[in-house]
Amino acid sequence: MLLKALADGKLHLGDEDFNQLEDFVYPIISIIRHEKDRQVSFTPLDNLVIVAGDSERFEIPVQRFIENASICFEQIKKGGKGKGSFAIPEIETFLNSFSLNTLKAKSKLKNDITIQISDPNTFLSPSLGFSIKSQMGRPSTLVNASRATNFTYRISGAKGLSKKAISEVNETRYFSEKMAIIEKSGCSLLFERVDSAIFWSNLKTIDYYFDRMIADILVMYYTSNNPAENSIVNFVAQTTKRNVKDYDLDINSSMYEMMMKRFLTDYALGMRAAEVWKRDYQATGGYLIVRNDGELICYHFYFAKKFEDYLFNNTRLETPDPNRYDIGRIYVEDGFQKMKLNLQIRFAK
C-alpha cells in the first residue's frame, strides 16, 4: 500500500461499490511510518520521494515506487492469496536500499499508516491515521472474536432441556442444528449478559438497549443455516421488522440501522471489546482499501455517510472456533441451563 500511495501521489475517495470518485481527490503531502523506535517520513517532491528518518535522508525517483508497486501487486496476485504472509525479495531489496526494515504497524494501533493530505474542501493539511484493508486476500475481521465478545443466554422453557437433548446439542457440530434441537424441545434462548463488563459498557455508549439488539442478532445468526443471509444488512432488516424494543418507527424507520452504523464506525476507528471506550479515535482518517485490481480507494471519516455505508454494506457475521471460546455448549450455572454465543464480524470483501 505504501508503494502504491507514493506511486500515485494522491488518494481517491470511494463509493459504497468500491469505485473511485474522480471529483474527490486528496494530494498526498507526506506519509509517516513508525518503525521500531524511529519515525520515517516519505514526501513526494516533483519526480522524487524524499525519505527521511533520524539523521538519514534519501532521494528516490517516483518511477522506482511505480515499478516496485507493480512488482508487488503481480507477486501478490501470483502467489499470495490464501497463503498468509510471504516474502518478495525484490521489494525487500528496494526497501532496504533506503534503510526501511518493516512495514508492520504496532499491533495495538487501529491506524496502520499516517498520511498528511491536502484537503481541498477545508484548505487544511491534516495528518490522518488510516487503517488498511485489502481485497486481495481473505477478508479481514472488524470485530475479532475473544472471550470478551461472548454473550451468555439462559435456556428458557417450562421444563428446560432433558439430559438427552443437552447431550444432542453438545455433540452436534452445526449451530443451526443445535438451535433446532432447543426449539424442538419447547425452549428458547433468553439473553442474560455480555460476559465482559467492559464490552457491555462500550455497547451502552451506542444505545442503552444495544447489547440486547446484538444478542437478538446473534440468535438469528446462529439459528440460520444459509451463509448467504449472514450480512449485517440482513440482520438489521430483520431486527427492524421485529422491533422488539418498540421504537416508534413511524417517526424514524432507521433507528436500528443508525445504531448499527454507529457501532461499526466506532469499532473501525478504535473501539475494542476489552478496553474502555471513550471515543479516542485512532484511525482518524478512515480506511484505505486495496482493491483486487491493486488500486487504492479511501473512505474518509470526513464523509461520514459514505464511511458508514461502506461498513454497513460490506460486513457479515462469522462463527469463530467453538472450542476456543467455549460457545454452543449447554452447561449449568446457578441452577440454570445456559449457552454462550460469540460475536465476530468480518468484512464481506
Express each pLDDT in 162-174 by its tens digit.
999 999 999 999 9
Q: What is the pLDDT of residue 287?
A: 85
In three-state secondary structure terms, 141 is: strand
Mind listing the pLDDT tens digit for each residue in 126-156? 888 888 888 877 788 999 999 999 999 999 9
Mind listing the pLDDT tens digit for each residue in 27-37? 999 998 877 67
**Model confidence band, residue 55 (pLDDT cutoffs 50, 70, 90):** confident
- The amino acid sitting at 258 is M
Please say if the pLDDT value at position 100 is more than 70: no
C-alpha cell at 248: 416508534
- pTM for the full model? 0.82
**Model confidence band, residue 101 (pLDDT cutoffs 50, 70, 90):** low
Closest by CA to 76, choosing from 318, 325, 290, 344, is 290
Which one has a higher pLDDT value, 153 or 17?
A: 153
Report the alpha-carbon distance of residue 122 to residue 120 in Å, rounded.
6
Q: Average pLDDT, stretch 6-32?
A: 87
C-alpha cell at 118: 491536502
Instruction: List for the chain the helix, strand, coil content (%; round to 5).
Output: 35, 30, 35
**Range in 49-63, 187-201, 314-328, 329-343 the model is least confident about:** 49-63
How many Cβ atoms sit within 10 Å of the Cβ of residue 180?
A: 16
Q: Average pLDDT, stretch 41-63?
A: 90
Please say if the pLDDT value at position 302 is more than 70: no
C-alpha cell at 3: 508503494
Angle between helical axes of 255-269 and 232-242 (0-180°, round to 10): 140
Q: What is the pLDDT of residue 19?
A: 85
